[in-house]
Structure 1
Amino acid sequence: MTISNEAVADMETVELEPLREDKKKIFEDILKYFETHQRGYIKVPTGWGKTFLSKHIMKKYYDDGKLVLFLVSKNNPLLSQTYYDRKKNQPLFPNSALLSSEHKEDRKELAKTLKALGKGKGKGFVLFASLQTVLGKQGAEIKNLILEHTDLAIVDEIHNFINNRGNDFLNELGERTKILGMTATPFQGVVGNVKFVDEIAGDMREVYAKTLPECILDEELAPLKYTIAESSEDIFEIFDFEKGLDELDKQDLFLDCSTADKLKKVVRRTQLAKDVYDSMVKRKNAKTLVFCAPVRKRVYGAGADREEINAFHAKLTASVFNGEISASKLGKDSDPVLPLDFDNYTPDGKFRDAAFITSELPKDEQSALLAAFRDTKKPPYVLCTVGMLIEGFDFPGLETLILLRPTLSMRLFEQQVGRVTRLSPVSGKGKGHIFEISDSIDSLYQRFGEGVFNGEKVDQVQMLQPEIRLEELFSEGDAALAIEEGKIEISKVDLSNLKKGRGKGRGRKNAQAVEVPVRLPPTALRAKYFSRLLAITEEKDVGAFEREKRELMRGALRFRVRELRDAEELSTLCDQVNKLKREAYEDRRLGDVSRQHKPKVFGEVEWLLKLQALNSLKYAGDRISMPEKNKILKTLGFEPDMRKIDSHRLKCLKIGSAQKTIPDLVKVLGFVSRLSSSETYQFLDKKKKDQWKREFLPAVYWGFCFIDASPELKELFESTEWDRRVKNIIRQK
């Protein structure tokens, strides 16, 4: 039994390493916050030390005789890691209990302890629990006691509690319970359908936040080198688009291995990751984690009786890295030859250099595999997985990450990146290395055409581009300084030398990948995709162009100006839009409604592009010199005088928007806020909904650009009552 008796509790004290001075300040600020608030959360990158900070907060309440609940959604490894003091091999808090599916607790004794605490008769107590166990069939009494007597609930990975049973449980906790959430990613969902931690409750507020670039600059996390390797494969040929662009409504794409040809392409793409690894990972015993892609259909030519193979790509990848399968061994006309049985072990029973971990492996084998992987002197050196180890896997010695799975979820992407950013004095890791295999997405525009306008698919398609995901990842914090100081490096790999060097002999061994720096923001790339949408719009005659305007305006808000080259790209794009506007006035092919609205659409988009560029200059231009700022203004067509930037911004609003002043925006958006609530919106008739989309939604884009110029707009946009339908329009994360 893990509940310690009072005698043991008196004999033992809770010993924690002291907090650094900066974290002491955060610790004190959190305690002060909860003197007047019930709920709040901290947002810090994976590896920053939020769990360590939470232990100090637990201890404060524990020492005061309070009941503390440390709650996770379902990550039992994380739960037990927090519960135990590894150095002493015993519970961290003498008076505590662990309640999870893997740890059986005496529930009667636990209930007795909780009741005593509720009557003020017990000492401080910490209950470590998983939500699934608390809500289980046998947990009714424990759940009710937790709801009644908990003084502080610390919820790790609180993003897993958004709009689900976890959300409901938190809202059942009484007024006496303080709730502290911790997360690296305070949102859930794919682009265009994102839910935020703030939506758990109206009084849930961000207490403290620190970005990944800030943590790297402050040496709290390891420097990061991110390398993009373009596969030259068509993403449509590699992944399953059976349901068209609706496949992008999920957080992952699925590999298609259903034919011999498809399987060969998947092997070639996986072989590319091995080639990059062989060429660019300098220490061959460096621990490397590979995130592989799920496979929906049966695999051609593999599996007994053509049964589906669990985590097939993880097993395939391990075989490729072990040299059992290679692209060169697959003949042009012959069927792929795959091993009938994937095996993690050498003939003498040791782990192979590359291994796979899946949920189907016995728990003891999974534990042995992870223990060996954490040992820097033993194989496996490469560990392949599909969905495991993305969250809660704490291994500071991990040096390299390879991404073979494109994701539409920024939360998953950030969690994956966080696996290699932890500092490790033991392994001597100088920086975390990430290699992503990227495929061509141009075919999606060619195949689906105007379909990319449907259901906000534009953003989803573009999120398949690594540079755009990285811009989103580094959109907060001083990434420019971290890049300038070499603490964040982003590059692409020229694979021509690798391809020439394939085969046997010295040439293969000496083949080297040539790196080309990648610049953020990826303005040229965004301009390329924006031009595609303009071309689609140019060809259409669809009345008022309401949907097209919304998607173009959404795309306009994604641009950033960090240097003169960005302004030059945007200026060229604005010239293109202006040309389309002039041509639309003269296009006699258009119907009367289209001829009235189409030029206006292009006009609004042109000035919103310029306004967004000015906003970048005003609010994120600290590292740009004044002479260059003035050059940027001139390039964008404004008087080169930064003192007049606010008048330039108002000029954009006046010329491009239906609302000519900020007070006009405040008035209209206040109306939008009332209409956009779920309770109101669902009762609007079709005519009113169409009017809402046509007349009011464009004001959201303009209003977003003036948040910091108007307290009323700022309050409105930060309101938790504003419906997610509107929040997703201006989503920046």
Structure 2
Amino acid sequence: MTISNEASAEMETVELEPLREDKKQIFEDILEYFETHQRGYIKVPTGWGKTFLSKHIMKKYYEEGKLVLFLISKNNPLLSQTYYNRKRTAPLFPNSALLSSEQKVARKEIAEALKKSGQEKGEGFVLFASLQTVLGKQASEIRELLLEYTDLAIVDEIHNFINNRGNNFLNEFGERTKILGMTATPFQGVVGNVKFVDEIAGDMKEVYAKTLPECILDEELAPLKYTIAESSEDIFEIFDFEKGLDELDRQDLYLDCSTVDKLKKVIRRTQLAKDVYDSMVKQKNTKTLVFCAPVRKRVYGAGEDGEEINAFHAKLTASVFNGEISIPELEKASDPVLPLDFENYTPEGEFTYAAFMTSELPKEEQSSLLAAFRETGKPPYVLCTVGMLIEGFDFPGLETLILLRPTLSMRLFEQQIGRVTRLSPASGKDRGNIFEIADNIDSLYQHFGDGVFNGEKVDQVQMLQPEIRLEELFSEGDAARAIEEGKIEICKVDFKNFRKGKGKGKNVHASEVPVRLPPTTLRAKYFSRLLAITEEKDIGAFEREKRELMRGALRFRVRELRDAEELATLSTQINKLKREAYEDRRLGDVSRQHKPKVFGEIEWLLKLQALNSLKYYGARISMPEKNKILRTLGFDPDIRKLDSYRLKCLKIGSAQKTIPELIKVLGFVSRLSSSETYQFLDKKKKEQWKREFLPAIYWGFCFIDDSPELRELFESTEWDRRVKNIIRQK
């Protein structure tokens, strides 16, 4: 530990670069917010400068003689980076301390400093600490003093404090302590089971937010080019689905390298990443970070005793990038032998061109590896890792990111993207480049069929599609403008013939094809699958299918006429299924009563969602094209009647025909959906709740900006997470 407690006035000066004018206003707004509130959080992309802003807030409280706690969930480089001044020659705040498991800390000395600051006042004190050390047994006195005397707690990556020990610790603070959270991703979990920062406490509110496209347009973050390289591999063949669709409830899929065939497929997929790098990264002396996939089972050929290899895919990827594995020889061999003595150093003791970062490396080696990676013009130029460096890794000079790790967590995805969004005038970086290796996911529908929908795994399966994640990533802010201006580029590359031409003297290049957002064609494809499965069923009331169809309908966006044409085709298909359901003699009485109604409701909800796109996201669509879109959707081409068309959809499609009826029903849902109430409902009541009331949530969400009462309901912290996941999935 270091406690700095210098008495001289000169040493008490906290030197910080001034805030930009726009951030000065945010700074003032945050201070004003905390005059009347205890808790709040800001949501800004990685690289925006939230840590720098927090230093100015800390300085304000420090100079007022307050006790400040800067808290992170676990030890990472950010903690010490924030503690020290810019030159790392001394602590930023003269009267401060650093408490982490990596420091040899005199805990008693820290406790005395906290007690002095809390009792005497007049002299500010800042403690920089990780949650794991604050909650440790040796820090019990420090923890009690913090709970008693802290004036301001700034919590970085506050999404790591949702419904856990960190959440409990924050809730132990009394009313005197202000709590400011900072995050780029205010949620945790996989699609369909997401926890949100505002669940930490009822008064945890968003104070300020800015989206990634907005930051790119304002030149606060680097422009992005995102390239999708489709592999020829079947995702079911190379990833471990031993537990079936339950594997989709995790944030990561695990590679299966347990047989010779599977191992070859994994190596071919990894070689594709190398081909992409060789073809598309022109400056090989720039730095590239590769996120690799975890491996659960024993690796084929790893030894007779069946041991697992820590971070095997990171080591394998480094070997592929270093040219240590010959793909032609591998393909010929019936029993390939891998270089299992993976090494980060050349015979001369230098780092290899591509290196791997794993938790088993000694801390000193990890530090020297990262230092070398940050150094321009020296190896390693490619750094491969699995779960490390996703948070707390600040390297503005990083130019390229390669994703070999399919994820079902938007939080994890956004954090990965954030590694290359920082601006770097020193390196001359003009944009961040991202390459993702994407696999064929159609096999999941073939292998699991109806189970994909019955298990409500549609969203998870689709999240494995890069376009779906990118639409979610750029769903807020003016992404359309950023794409139009070339600040955000998204494309696919075809590498099918790349290796065939290699080594034959041919000038082979990967062909790029622009990717449109929203990916309406892709969504329509999956939506049609669900319609087909629903059509084939002839029993039940179709509640589950209805919920999945409604969820899917609210995913669509209309940005241009082509999107409306896709939805019009779907609408025609649904209308045909509705007519056929009325005449289907296979159906029992219950099914014949419900199935046509299900299709009818979905048809009008789909049209309502298209109209909402025009109303809320149509600023960049010309008036003539808006009228063409209306005509395509089956309405008179008069944009002035847009709201009346929206109400028509509600009247024809929903059980609640007006907004007041929706308010009445959703008020009841709000009371009923609380955990305390829901757990006491019998099975019959729960089924009624799902069948009669949950659909109203989707309809109500479409009119949230038309009614203050609906907005108040949907923003309520009382609603159970089952409802919140429906609300916020859009």
1:679 corresponds to = 676
- Does 2:645 align with 1:648? yes
Q: In structure 2, the residue corresponding to 1:7 is in which secondary structure?
A: coil
1:288 corresponds to = 288
Q: In structure 2, the residue corresponding to 1:595 is in which secondary structure?
A: helix
Distance in 2 (alpha carbons) for counterparts of 1:451 and 1:21: 54
Distance in 2 (alpha carbons) for counterparts of 1:724 and 1:555: 19
Post-superposition CA distance 1:288-335 (Å, at most 9, x none): 000000000000012473310000000000000000114322134511
Distance in 2 (alpha carbons) for counterparts of 1:731 and 1:441: 25
- Does 2:685 align with 1:688? yes
How far apart are 1:122 and its partner, in Å?
A: 5.4
- Does 2:458 align with 1:461? no
2:451 corresponds to = 451
Distance in 2 (alpha carbons) for counterparts of 1:297 and 1:414: 28
- Does 2:660 align with 1:663? yes
Distance in 2 (alpha carbons) for counterparts of 1:280 and 1:636: 41
Any runs of at least 4 consecutive aligned residues in structure 1 with deviations exceeding 6 A, and if so which?
A: none
CA contact (8 A) 1:263 1:336 kept: no
Q: In structure 1, the residue corresponding to 2:411 is in which secondary structure?
A: helix
Letter in 1 for 2:313: H
- Does 2:575 align with 1:578? yes
CA contact (8 A) 2:43 2:209 kept: yes
- Does 2:705 align with 1:712? no
Distance in 2 (alpha carbons) for counterparts of 1:86 and 1:306: 48
Distance in 1 (alpha carbons) for counterparts of 2:145 and 2:508: 65
2:633 to 632, 636, 647: 636
Distance in 1 (alpha carbons) for counterparts of 2:673 and 2:514: 43
CA contact (8 A) 2:286 2:377 kept: no
Letter in 2 for 1:587: D
Distance in 2 (alpha carbons) for counterparts of 1:77 and 1:333: 44
Q: What is the correspondence of 1:311-326 to structure 2 with a 5 Å cutoff?
A: 311-326=311-326
Distance in 1 (alpha carbons) for counterparts of 2:167 and 2:238: 37
Letter in 1 for 2:418: G
Q: In structure 2, the residue corresponding to 1:709 is in which secondary structure?
A: coil
How far apart are 1:9 and its partner, in Å?
A: 6.1
1:599 to 596, 599, 612: 596
CA contact (8 A) 2:65 2:121 kept: no
Q: In structure 2, the residue corresponding to 1:617 is in which secondary structure?
A: helix
1:154 corresponds to = 154
Distance in 1 (alpha carbons) for counterparts of 2:450 and 2:36: 52
Q: In structure 1, the residue corresponding to 2:384 is in which secondary structure?
A: strand
CA contact (8 A) 1:615 1:705 kept: yes
How far apart are 1:280 and its partner, in Å?
A: 0.2
How far apart are 1:725 and its partner, in Å?
A: 0.5
CA contact (8 A) 1:9 1:94 kept: no
How far apart are 1:121 and its partner, in Å?
A: 4.3
Q: In structure 2, the residue corresponding to 1:416 is in which secondary structure?
A: helix
Post-superposition CA distance 1:426-484 (Å, at most 9, x none): 11111000000000110111111111123420000000000000000000000000000
1:493 corresponds to = 493
2:552 to 535, 552, 555: 555
Q: In structure 2, the residue corresponding to 1:190 is in which secondary structure?
A: coil
1:398 corresponds to = 398
Out of 118-127 and 533-542, give the one that drifted further: 118-127
TM normalised by structure 1 equals 0.98
How far apart are 1:285 and its partner, in Å?
A: 1.0
Out of 510-519 and 301-310, give the one that drifted further: 301-310
Aligned length: 730
Q: What is the correspondence of 1:217-366 to structure 2 with a 5 Å cutoff?
A: 217-303=217-303, 305-332=305-332, 334-366=334-366
Q: In structure 1, the residue corresponding to 2:120 is in which secondary structure?
A: coil
Q: In structure 2, the residue corresponding to 1:220 is in which secondary structure?
A: coil
Post-superposition CA distance 1:412-439 (Å, at most 9, x none): 0000000000000111111000000000
Distance in 1 (alpha carbons) for counterparts of 2:121 and 2:681: 56
Q: In structure 2, the residue corresponding to 1:51 is in which secondary structure?
A: helix
CA contact (8 A) 2:714 2:727 kept: no
1:541 corresponds to = 538
Distance in 1 (alpha carbons) for counterparts of 2:439 and 2:338: 24
How far apart are 1:116 and its partner, in Å?
A: 1.4
Distance in 1 (alpha carbons) for counterparts of 2:121 and 2:202: 34
1:506 corresponds to = 505
Distance in 2 (alpha carbons) for counterparts of 1:668 and 1:661: 11
Distance in 2 (alpha carbons) for counterparts of 1:533 and 1:547: 11
Q: What is the correspondence of 1:12-91 to structure 2 with a 5 Å cutoff?
A: 12-91=12-91
CA contact (8 A) 1:271 1:326 kept: no
Q: Which blocks of at least 5 consecutive residues in structure 2 are unaligned? A: none
CA contact (8 A) 1:42 1:206 kept: yes
Letter in 1 for 2:501: G
CA contact (8 A) 2:6 2:12 kept: no
Post-superposition CA distance 1:662-714 (Å, at most 9, x none): 00000000000011000000000001000000100000010010000011111
Letter in 2 for 1:260: V
Q: In structure 2, the residue corresponding to 1:85 is in which secondary structure?
A: coil
Question: 1:373/1:88 Cα in 2 relative to 1: closer, same or farther (>3 Å)?
Answer: closer
Q: In structure 2, the residue corresponding to 1:160 is in which secondary structure?
A: helix
Question: 1:326/1:530 Cα in 2 relative to 1: closer, same or farther (>3 Å)?
Answer: farther
Q: In structure 1, the residue corresponding to 2:231 is in which secondary structure?
A: strand
CA contact (8 A) 2:251 2:408 kept: yes
How far apart are 1:498 and its partner, in Å?
A: 1.0
1:210 corresponds to = 210
Letter in 1 for 2:432: G
Letter in 2 for 1:59: K
Question: 1:704/1:462 Cα in 2 relative to 1: closer, same or farther (>3 Å)?
Answer: same
Distance in 1 (alpha carbons) for counterparts of 2:689 and 2:9: 63
Question: 1:682/1:323 Cα in 2 relative to 1: closer, same or farther (>3 Å)?
Answer: same
Distance in 2 (alpha carbons) for counterparts of 1:542 and 1:116: 72
Distance in 2 (alpha carbons) for counterparts of 1:25 and 1:554: 39
Q: In structure 1, the residue corresponding to 2:522 is in which secondary structure?
A: helix
Let me know the Cα RMSD of the aligned residues: 1.1
CA contact (8 A) 2:373 2:381 kept: yes
Q: In structure 1, the residue corresponding to 2:102 is in which secondary structure?
A: coil
TM normalised by structure 2 equals 0.99
Q: What is the correspondence of 1:89-100 to structure 2 with a 5 Å cutoff?
A: 89-100=89-100
CA contact (8 A) 2:11 2:94 kept: no
How far apart are 1:8 and its partner, in Å?
A: 4.6
CA contact (8 A) 2:270 2:404 kept: yes
CA contact (8 A) 2:197 2:204 kept: yes
Distance in 2 (alpha carbons) for counterparts of 1:4 and 1:246: 51
CA contact (8 A) 2:71 2:130 kept: yes
Out of 715-724 and 141-150, give the one that drifted further: 715-724
2:563 corresponds to = 566
Post-superposition CA distance 1:387-418 (Å, at most 9, x none): 00000100000000000010000000000000
Q: Which blocks of at least 5 consecutive residues in structure 1 are unaligned? A: none
Letter in 2 for 1:425: P
Distance in 2 (alpha carbons) for counterparts of 1:128 and 1:679: 38
1:617 corresponds to = 614
CA contact (8 A) 2:66 2:121 kept: no
Distance in 1 (alpha carbons) for counterparts of 2:644 and 2:704: 16
How far apart are 1:88 and its partner, in Å?
A: 4.9
Letter in 2 for 1:694: R
Distance in 1 (alpha carbons) for counterparts of 2:720 and 2:548: 19
CA contact (8 A) 2:76 2:392 kept: no
Out of 452-461 and 652-661, give the one that drifted further: 452-461
How far apart are 1:114 and its partner, in Å?
A: 1.2
Distance in 1 (alpha carbons) for counterparts of 2:8 and 2:132: 30
Out of 302-311 and 25-34, give the one that drifted further: 302-311
Distance in 2 (alpha carbons) for counterparts of 1:720 and 1:730: 12
- Does 2:587 align with 1:590? yes
Letter in 1 for 2:279: S
How far apart are 1:6 and its partner, in Å?
A: 4.0
